[in-house]
Structure 1
Amino acid sequence: MTTTYKKGFTKDEIYQNVYPLWAYAHLIFSIPIVLFTDYLNFKPILLIESISLIATGFLLTFGNSLFSIQMTQITYGCATSSEIAFMSYLYTKVYDNEIAFVTGIIRGVILLSKCLCTSIGQLGISLKWFDLTVLNETTLVMSILSLPFVLFAIFPRICFKKDKKKNVNLNNDIGERESLKIYDKINEKKKRVQTLNFIERIKYVKDNLSDPILLIVWSSWWTITSALIYQMYNYIQVHWTPLQLESIHVYNGSVEFINTLLGACVTLSFSRLKINWKKYTGLITIFSTILFSFLFVALAETTNIYISYILYIIINVTYLFLIAIASSILASIVDVNGIGIVFGVVSLTTSLLQSLLGFILINGNIWALNTKQQFSINSLIFLLSSIIFIIISCFNVIINNKKKGEIKEENSTNINIINGRKSKVILQHSESVFKELI
């Protein structure tokens, strides 16, 4: 809505001609990102993300035509599709038992940063310290300032050449030598398999996968949930507009502040929890989709803006906690050389589903539903998803019980064979003793 008021566009132009473009752009850019992220060893993708964010800030600050604002959705779609490289790169640098901790910390810090920016922006606008144009300019400046840090990550040997020379002179330090040994072991363990053959990379992931069922379940859950939640993110401001007509005060900024703060808290708390989340996969996927179904239908039907605020916060905080669980589980069951492609495929399918929903339900190609109708459809999709996850869980239980029965039967057979051999040995020994006595 920032663009609507400051640059002269109508709500319908933003709703139908601007917002939907992000999903299409994210989908299109996700295809090359999936193909090249692992092959390029993540780092160039980080640079693409940084440049895309700078372009988004530039267009948002200086663009005044509808085309330039539409381009912000294109460049931002490129940036968001490149985000998979960030977490995938981090997962290749840590041990398996640190994945949950790193996931919680990184996602929590990102949310805390977002919370800080939201609070400063809301406070500045409320107290009239600056206007919305200044916020766009600040976004552009901060995006530019982040670029050197990306370059440091991509070219560490160039950026820290002097420090490297100093470290060479300290080779006598035992602690440093041990650290270098550990670092070399990590690099050796996580040596990348570089190939442009997509089929070979998929085959590699399959051959080095510890639990195929978990991969299917959590990837499906992530795709469906993220697509529907992202739809809510895109259109929640539009949904709130008619509800705010009867309210004197608008607290959208404050709601986003509380939303991101609580999200950061639950995500950081996830990093401290020592729970085997894999064990509860069935319960989490089933009950979370049922919960989201209930929350979305409530969000669609309520006419009270404050209840809508609360429902939005509950949905978002729950999603952020569960997505941390999903990403940590997927990273732990996939070989390090396949993390990028798995996350990329999940991102691609999420974008594909979101684009499909936008094409069918929003853009007027088949239907042009309002936000209330959209959220009702989302609720129905979540409900159907919960039924699918129930069926998958039942099949999984049957398969596991069958495997346990086979193992138990095999163990019983082995025990009988061993006992039979022991009895035979004892009998032979008894016969030899009897013969000696005779």
Structure 2
Amino acid sequence: MGLSPPPYQCRLNRLNKTELSPAVVRHPCWVGPTVLLCIYGFCSMMRPSEPFLTDYLTGPYKNLTTKQVTRQVFPIWAYSNLFLLIPVFLVTDILRYKPVIVLQALNYILAFLLFIFSSGIVLTQCALFIYSIGTAADVAYYSYIYSVVHPQYYQRVTSYARGAVLLGYAAGAMLGQLLVSLGGVSIYWLNVITLGSLCVALLAALLLPMPQRRMVLGGTQTDNGPLEEVVSSSCGSWVVWWLRRVSRAGRGKMRALKRLAVDCKECYSSVAVLFFCVWSAMGKCGYHQITGYVQLLWASKQPQYNFTEYNGGVEAVATLSGAAASIAVGHVALDWSVWGELFLCVFTALAAGVLYLMDLTNSIWICYGCYGLFKTIYMELITMCTFQIAQGLSRECYALVFGVNSFVGMALQSLLTAIVVNTKSLQLTITSQFLVYASYFAAMGVLFFIRGVYTLLQKR
């Protein structure tokens, strides 16, 4: 794979067509874009208001009922994210990542503006829809860095990008908890602080260098036409660049889609990779369903009087614990090709047991502790699945597999939401819903127990 430098190096590369030496490209090729991307990831995820979103919507600020939030507001995110995921994924590759990252920041800002200044269920649903556009654009954040750095830095920049997101979320949650518990700050002002952090993220996104190649539809070739000279020399002529992309959008669509289908078939041709992708998609479905509705479960477990919520502190500790588990699993010496699926089975079953306990207990503290353990287990397993998938694929296919797995996970989540949350005949309480989610992870554990035993016998 050839080196594709950011725009401020374009003129240098055109004068010297040979590959630059590592001594020349080491600093500008990965440090600058990585730092900016990490700043963006940290600031975009530092949202002190998010652990208290349910209280904000059901409290005096919005005056929505718990039933409205459960059945009419939160499902909007799952359904719209599924609808938007594939279009955003394709547009991300066509527009070469940076414009979509900027669009993600703008959508987050608009969503929190609506959270702050709007009222009523319709505008709240609009805010969740706009927010879902931002979450659907996560593929741009996780794929951008691979298009501006040399492959030898992939492992390093991946860890930095993911670490920045986890650290930002933990910092935001802890800040929110400290402001609420010690400073007496209202949840309204937590949303204002979140909005300020998102504005800083937008500035970092605007400063990101523009990639010169695509990862999926466009291959790894760069464009060196006359118009590209104008765009590269100005390094800011987005209008000219955008007109060029539009003028070429219709060329070779069928060929690109056919290549995409062939790449997708090749990526999932390995049964071992396929099962790790299955867990990745199913695990994301269950994880997002748990994290999306856990605040409602906490509200049902809390004492009625004189209780200080610790949602933010629990989220912060759980996120940091999950980050530590993610790092630790990367140093486990194990023959993953033999024991990987049984490893998934054991810890998925443990996650199911934790969810059962979280659902059945009447203690908010046990519920908090179980959630932290569940999130730690999930972070550990999704990290293991990620590097196992990456080992079985070429690096150019990472963005494709990430997008497909995310789409399958969102499709499963939408189906689960439609059955468990929105089916009028069931009318499940929040505790009954979590009983279903625990059973979902138990079924995953059984599936991977069967697969793990089969793999072990086959290897032996």
Q: Pick from 202, 208, 218: which aligns with 1:153? A: 208
Q: Distance in 2 between matches of 1:276 and 1:89?
A: 31
Contact residue 61 and residue 133 of structure 1 kept, 8 A: yes
Contact residue 148 and residue 211 of structure 2 kept, 8 A: no
How has the CA–CA distance of structure 1 residues 104 and 273 changed in structure 2, closer, same or farther, with 3 Å as cutoff? farther
Correspondence 1:227-246 to 2 at 5 A: 227-245=285-303
Correspondence 1:175-324 to 2 at 5 A: 197-207=256-266, 209=267, 212-245=270-303, 248-249=306-307, 250-269=309-328, 277-278=336-337, 280-324=339-383
User: Which residue in 2 is equivalent to 1:3?
Assistant: 57
Once the two structures are superposed, residues 354-397 of structure 1 have per-residue CA deviations (whole angstroms, 9 ceiling, x without a partner) of 11111111113442212221222122222222222233334445
User: Which residue in 2 is equivalent to 1:24?
Assistant: 79
Q: Distance in 1 between matches of 2:333 and 2:149?
A: 17
SS in 2 for 1:130: coil
Contact residue 96 and residue 210 of structure 2 kept, 8 A: no
User: Which residue in 2 is equivalent to 1:167?
Assistant: none
Aligned residue-pair number: 370
Structure 2 residue runs of 5 or longer lacking an equivalent are 1-54, 213-229, 236-251
SS in 2 for 1:64: coil
User: Which residue in 1 is equivalent to 2:417?
Assistant: 358
Contact residue 113 and residue 195 of structure 2 kept, 8 A: yes
How has the CA–CA distance of structure 1 residues 162 and 202 changed in structure 2, closer, same or farther, with 3 Å as cutoff? closer
Structure having greater relative contact order (Cα 8 Å, sep ≥ 6): 1
- My pick for the range that moved more, 8-17 or 391-400, is 391-400
User: Which residue in 2 is equivalent to 1:37?
Assistant: 92
Q: Distance in 2 between matches of 1:375 and 1:129?
A: 32
Contact residue 210 and residue 334 of structure 1 kept, 8 A: no
Q: CA deviation at 1:156?
A: 7.5
Q: Pick from 87, 90, 105: which aligns with 2:145? A: 90
Q: Distance in 2 between matches of 1:91 and 1:370?
A: 44
User: Which residue in 2 is equivalent to 1:374?
Assistant: 433
Q: Distance in 1 between matches of 2:268 and 2:84?
A: 29
Contact residue 344 and residue 381 of structure 2 kept, 8 A: no
Q: CA deviation at 1:272?
A: 6.0
How has the CA–CA distance of structure 1 residues 156 and 379 changed in structure 2, closer, same or farther, with 3 Å as cutoff? closer
Once the two structures are superposed, residues 305-330 of structure 1 have per-residue CA deviations (whole angstroms, 9 ceiling, x without a partner) of 11111100000111112212222322
Q: What's the Cα RMSD here?
A: 3.0
- My pick for the range that moved more, 354-363 or 103-112, is 103-112
Q: CA deviation at 1:220?
A: 0.8
User: Which residue in 2 is equivalent to 1:393?
Assistant: 452
Does 1:340 pair with 2:394? Answer: no
Contact residue 223 and residue 346 of structure 1 kept, 8 A: yes
Q: Distance in 1 between matches of 2:291 and 2:429?
A: 14
Q: Distance in 2 between matches of 1:356 and 1:216?
A: 21
Contact residue 255 and residue 309 of structure 1 kept, 8 A: yes
Q: Distance in 2 between matches of 1:26 and 1:246?
A: 35
Q: Distance in 1 between matches of 2:394 and 2:455?
A: 23
Once the two structures are superposed, residues 90-145 of structure 1 have per-residue CA deviations (whole angstroms, 9 ceiling, x without a partner) of 34556777655544443232222222222222222223453222221222222122
Once the two structures are superposed, residues 44-76 of structure 1 have per-residue CA deviations (whole angstroms, 9 ceiling, x without a partner) of 332232221111121112112221111121111
TM-score by structure 2 length? 0.72
Q: Distance in 2 between matches of 1:284 and 1:94?
A: 33
User: Which residue in 2 is equivalent to 1:404?
Assistant: none
SS in 2 for 1:369: coil
Q: Distance in 2 between matches of 1:162 and 1:272?
A: 45
Structure 1 residue runs of 5 or longer lacking an equivalent are 164-193, 402-438
Determine which structure has the larger helix proportion and give its number.
1
| Amino acid aligned to 2:381 | L
Contact residue 114 and residue 260 of structure 1 kept, 8 A: yes
User: Which residue in 1 is equivalent to 2:196?
Assistant: 141
Once the two structures are superposed, residues 217-247 of structure 1 have per-residue CA deviations (whole angstroms, 9 ceiling, x without a partner) of 1111011111112111111111112211257
| Amino acid aligned to 1:242 | S
CA radius of gyration, larger in: 1
Q: CA deviation at 1:26?
A: 0.9
Q: Distance in 1 between matches of 2:257 and 2:456?
A: 33
